[in-house]
Structure formats: C-alpha cells, structure tokens
Amino acid sequence: MKAIVLAAGFGTRLRPLTNNTPKPLLPVGDRPLIQYSLLLLKKYGITEVVINLHHQGKKIEQMLGDGRTLGMQILYSEEPEILGTGGGMKKASHFLSDGTFVAINGDILVDVNLDKVVEFHRWKRSVATMILREDPDVETYGAIELDSKGRIRRFLRQPDWEGEKLLPYMFTGIHVLEPKIFKYIPSHGFSSVTEAYQTMLKKDERLFGYPMKGYWRDLGTPKNYQQAKADFKKGAVRLSYIR
C-alpha cells in the first residue's frame, strides 16, 4: 500500500513561525512535525510515499531526501500553483492509482491503528473511509455525520437527510481511499477533496467513517503548536511508533 502526505499548505495561521520554515518542518519534540505522519505510516508497513509540495517545498525535500534514512521511499509532487487537497491528490494519481492508499495531513500528531482502519475500509467495500473523532467543538471543524452502520450520510450539513438520527464527528486529516476517487476530482486546477466527497454522496458512493479513540492533535494554530511542544517536554505524549 502507498500513501500521500499533504504538505503543500502555507501555514498561514502559524505566522510568523512559518515565514521562513514550512509548517511540516516546525520542530516538535526531537523531530520535524512531518516525521510523525511518516513514522506512523512506516509502523503499518506503508513505506512508499509521495509528498506534495508548494510553500517552501524545497526545504522539505532537502530535509527528508529520498526517505532512505527513515527506511522509506519518498517521492515528491511539486505544485507551482497550490492545488488544494483534491488537486494535490489528483496530480499524484499516477503514483496512487494501483490500489488502496492512505492520505494523511503533514501537520497532525496522531496515534491510530491503520491496520484496523484498512480492514474496516475493505469490509465495508468503501470508496473512501475518513478517520473521525468525537469532539465537543465538532461544528467548528465541520460535522461529518454517520448512520448506525458507520456510513457517511451528511458532509458539512449536506445533503438534506430524513432517515435515522445521525452521529456527528470531526475529521482527523486521515483517509483510506480507492483510486475511484480520482473520477470525482477535476483534472486541473485547485480543488478540495471536500468537493469530491459531496459529489460522491449525491451519487450514493460508499463513504464510511471510522471513529478513533487514540491521541490526536492538529498543530495548525499557535496555541495547539505550543501546547504540543509543552506536552512533549513534560512527557505527556505517548505515541506507539516513537521510541
């Protein structure tokens, strides 16, 4: 199985920290942030990875190289104009189109059993499985609503729904996907994977959510970034793939 790590963003909310350093290279603990996503993938045997690049992307490539020092094979998909989550995946589709793949944000700290997620994904015959979590501020992030079988029925309050009561979750930034998703992403230009999912819901494609219980933190804001650094310093973070 292969993966794409999404690392092309500007890190706008973390300025001025990201003025001269791309967000995925900001230090957390004793390593750059993006390494946590890579090491999670490696733990579950996913060592062939493509990373999309835009904002100060050359610095990321220089830091990670071909991935050999991590025991991985890393390729890069450079975006002269930023393409968004959907467009970034589509540009790398030649690398990802030979089977089930994982997409993960390069600015999160997370500990989740990817083997179990992939097993769930295949059992449900899902085209896309989003790893989700409960959160009291779910509406701030944008609710992903599941039925009793874990199928996604509403995405950011769309479409209308008159069936059973749905349970709202927030998206963690990790998906397990089939190449069929590329059918729903434009061939050129900027696009969000959100747009693809909304179209897929209307087409009744099989989209599922996998609620996780383990550690997760988005480091996209100064508050969250500083809190993560403090947690590491006092030994409050335990990630199963970090020794």
The least confident of 8-17, 20-29, 130-139, 233-242 is: 8-17
Query: What is the residue-wise DSSP string for 57-106?
Result: HHHHHHHHTTSGGGT-EEEEEE-SS--HHHHHHHHTHHHHTTS-EEEEET
Residue 128's pLDDT is what?
97
Check: CB of residue 66 under 8 Å from CB of residue 73. yes
pLDDT confidence band for 47 (50 / 70 / 90): very high
What kind and span of H or E run contains 123?
Answer: helix 114-123
SS3 of residue 144 by DSSP: strand
Contact of 181 with 201, CB cutoff 8 Å: no
CATH top class, domain 2-233? alpha beta
- pLDDT reading at 17 higher than 70: no
**pLDDT (mean) for 99-110:** 94
pLDDT in tens, 56-72: 889 999 999 999 999 99
Residue 10 pLDDT > 70, yes or no?
no
For the segment 128-162, what is each residue's pLDDT rounded down to a tens digit? Answer: 999 999 987 777 777 899 999 999 998 877 777 77
**Mean pLDDT computed over 188-215:** 93
- pLDDT of 52 > 80? The answer is yes
Q: Which one-letter amino acid corresponds to residue 165?
A: K
- Has residue 196 got a pLDDT over 90? yes
pTM of the model: 0.92
Least confident range from 23-32, 86-95, 155-164: namely: 155-164
| Residues above pLDDT 70, as percent of the chain | 97
pLDDT level of residue 11 (50, 70, 90 thresholds): low
Q: Taking residues 192-201, report their average pLDDT.
A: 93
Residue 111, token pair as written in the block? 């500990």
Strand partners, 110: 216
